[in-house]
Amino acid sequence: MNVPNLFRVASLAVFVQIALGGLITFGVLPYTVSSFGLSTLLHVANGVVVFALVSAAAVAALRSKPPHKGLNELSKAMVLLLVIQIGIGVTMVGALDNAILSWVHLLIAVLIYAMTLVGRSFAMLRDQAAGGTT
């Protein structure tokens, strides 16, 4: 799979992850701390998928030729933000009613989503400049 398509799939997974988090936050899906409800399991499972896809897109972007400085820096920052996001998510399991932490968690998620969209654009521009097709 080429780099722009990896970023496209990663952006879809991040979007689904944000939607699942919203469904948990606003009580649309049932959430129970003691039994670690189904909605939480879906959020965690999709989080693993997001981590794998974002990491794969970042590694593919870093290894692809010709190198693109903006794409490389964006890929590194995206993975760093994702690690921070996972840390905040784990912290939130014990602090569900912390509104500030919830907003920071959402803000970082939206930044990661935006970075996947920009990464796709950078990868497409790089491929077009190199004479490839996307």
Q: With bands split at pLDDT 50, 70 and 90, how would you rate the model's confidence at 34?
A: very low
Omega prior to 30 cis, within 30 of 0: no
Please, what is the average pLDDT of the chain?
A: 85
Q: With bands split at pLDDT 50, 70 and 90, how would you rate the model's confidence at 35?
A: very low
Cβ atoms of 112 and 82 closer than 8 Å: yes
Tell me, what's the pLDDT at 30? Answer: 59
Which two tokens mark 48? 């693993």
Q: How many residues are listed for the chain in this entry?
A: 134
Domain boundaries, the chain: 3-129
pTM of the entire structure?
A: 0.85
Cβ atoms of 57 and 7 closer than 8 Å: yes
pLDDT at 83 over 70: yes
**DSSP structure string for 41-82:** HHHHHHHHHHHHHHHHHHHHHHHSSS--HHHHHHHHHHHHHH
User: How far is the C-alpha of 12 from the C-alpha of 30, rounded, in Å?
Assistant: 23
Residue range 27-39: mean pLDDT, rounded:
59
